[in-house]
A and B are shown apart, each in its own frame.
Chain A
Amino acid sequence: MSLFDLESVTVAGVLRPRLHDVSVSVPTDGITVLQGPSGSGKSTLLRLLNRLEAPDAGSVRYRGEDLAARDVLAHRREVGMVFQAPVLFPGTVADNLAVARPQDPPAALLERAGLPAEFLARDAGTLSGGEAQRACLARALGTRPRVLLMDEPTSALDPAASRLIEQLARSLAADGVPIVLVSHDREQARRLGDRIIDLDEGRVLAA
């Protein structure tokens, strides 16, 4: 069984569909990279997987179960997400982790994301881009996700910070948390992807 199955999925857009009749599967382990130029529909596809978007036609299944029939809040806790630009809420890093109602101690979450426990007391607004993205990853890990979605998680970061996030993604995948990652960077896709799905103009080119 696949992790995700999309069947004839169309998502309407303003001028043209953002996704057009897409059928594709995401395997249950490793890192799957959604790759394509800006406007290709890769972010839209990712957002379908935790139902921040819903298909206008077709269906999305998670481990064989139709997403439309699943409890969306429970699903989002099971399928975590890290966004392109790190989004931290006002307050300290600890406040941020608390929003996720974490099931693990905050310090342990930070450690998994490669940040020392001292960061808990830091004001979220004072973090560098790379630190902020790792804090977002720690927050996402708080719900003990079984899957992690990453939407161009390194595009706002410098090369060193990007490497760190890539390493974290690899180690999470090795620990049995499959990752679906969006990238417009072909090099990154080759480095990270156990499987690469190519998109252009709302269609899947090669999978």
Chain B
Amino acid sequence: MSSSGDVSWWGLAGSLIMIAGVALVSWRQRLRLERDLAVAVLRSLSQLLLVGAALGIIVDPDTWIGWSFVWLTGMVLFAAATVSQRAPQLPGVFGVALAALVASSVIGLGLLFALGIFPVEGRTVVPLAGMVVGNSLAAGVVTVRRLVDAVAERRADLEARLALGLPWQQAVRPTVRNVLRTGIAPDVERIKALGIVVLPGAMTGLILAGVDPLDAVRVQLALMYVILGAVTTTATVVALLGTRRLFTADHRLRPLARDTRDEG
């Protein structure tokens, strides 16, 4: 790695100057952002330093590759728990989230490794899994929230369709379409803006580390496509399995906990 990629501890502290400035303004103006900023800095600092130390062990060629997959499993479980916390009123939400994340990470990482884009090594598995699972996590959270909100908002629409004798799968289709379209839209828009507005992280990192920009672009594109695939897979599985939990076998819409339905 070239010297330009090295950040000394002093350099790291210096990178906080901008945040410190904002915190100072926030404190003077009583915007109350300083607490959140401090928590975000301290959490990211401690978490990433821990991860960095652990990654040091994982990427060591002498370390058993199985540990990478243990780590991957931990990530997927943590991500599923995070998704399910965002929509506790959805029955069986953890299972839904887990199925979606397992599907997207198995297919996503499977592609990256099976196509030989990256070798299966300690150096590759956890960082790539981080990207695939991390992005899938975000998509899962957005989709599950949108789904629960949409069903609560559109309860009358859904029940009107059920009352016409439509099976729940048909009754919910316009709602699911809407949820997925708005859930995936930010990722699609990001990909469209690639290179113009967004210089994506992996590519930026590679270029900073001295890799030829065109090589960096190929790596980035392959990653982005796989990530987009993983994101859409997660969103779709969450939406399809999630809606299933919202209806009974006899085509009734289950009441959700936070519903404030008129009980007249």
Residues of B within 8 A of A130 (CB): none
For A52, what are the chain B residues with a Cβ–Cβ distance below 8 Å?
A: 159, 162-163, 252-253
Residue of A nearest to B171 (CB): A99
- A85 & B164 in contact (Cβ 8 Å cutoff): no
Asked whether B167 lies within 8 Å of A73 as measured between CB atoms, the reply is: yes
Whether A83 sits at the interface, judged by CB under 8 Å, is yes
Flag whether B61 is at the interface (Cβ < 8 A). no
A143 adjacent to chain B (CB < 8 Å):
yes
Contact A77-B164, Cβ < 8 Å, known A53-B252, A89-B157: yes
Separation of A143 and B166 alpha carbons in the complex (Å): 11
- Does any Cβ of B come within 8 Å of A13's Cβ? yes
Q: Which of A37-45, A105-113, A186-194 contacts B (4 or more CB under 8 A)?
A: A37-45
Report if B263 contacts A (CB, 8 A): yes
Chain B, residue nearest A82 (CB): B163
B250 interface residue per 8 A CB criterion:
yes
Instruction: Name the interface residues of B132-166: CB closer than 8 Å to any CB of A.
Output: 156-157, 159-166
A63 to chain B, nearest CB (A): 17
Indicate if the CB atoms of A99 and B166 lie closer than 8 Å: yes
B157 touches A38 (CB 8 A): no
On chain B, the residues within 8 Å of A83 by CB distance are 156, 159-160, 163
Q: Chain A residues near B163: list those with CB within 8 A.
A: 50, 52, 76, 80-81, 83, 140
Residues of B within 8 A of A143 (CB): 164-165
A207 contacts B by Cβ under 8 Å: no
Residues of A close to B174: CB separation below 8 A: 89-90
A90 contacts which chain B residues (CB < 8 A)? 174
Q: Which residues of A contact B165 (CB under 8 A)?
A: 73-74, 76-77, 100, 143
Closest to B168 in A: A73
The interface centre, meaning the residue of B163, B174, B250, B253 with most chain A CB atoms within 10 A of its CB, is B163
Most buried by B among A39, A53, A76: A76
Chain A contacts for B157, CB-based, 8 A:
87, 89
- A142 and B166 alpha carbons, distance in the complex (Å): 13
- In this assembly, does A179 line the interface, its C-beta being within 8 Å of a C-beta of chain B? no
User: Is B251 positioned at the interface, with any CB of A under 8 Å from its CB?
Assistant: yes
List residues 134-178 of chain A with CB under 8 A from any CB of chain B: 136, 139-140, 142-143, 152
| Residue B262 interfacial (CB < 8 Å) | yes
Bound Cα distance A152, B264 (Å)? 10
Centre residue among B156, B160, B166 by max chain A CB count within 10 A: B160
B167 neighbours in A (Cβ, 8 Å): 73
Of the candidates B165, B174, B252, B264, the one having the most CB atoms from chain A within 10 angstroms of its own CB is B264
A103 to chain B, nearest CB (A): 12
Q: Within 8 Å CB of A39, what residues of B?
A: 263-264
| CB-CB nearest 10 A-B residue pairs | A77-B165, A87-B160, A81-B163, A76-B165, A100-B164, A43-B264, A73-B165, A72-B250, A87-B156, A38-B264
Given A54-B250, A76-B164, A143-B165, 11 more pairs with CB closer than 8 A: A13-B263, A38-B264, A42-B264, A51-B252, A52-B159, A54-B248, A72-B251, A83-B159, A136-B160, A140-B164, A143-B164
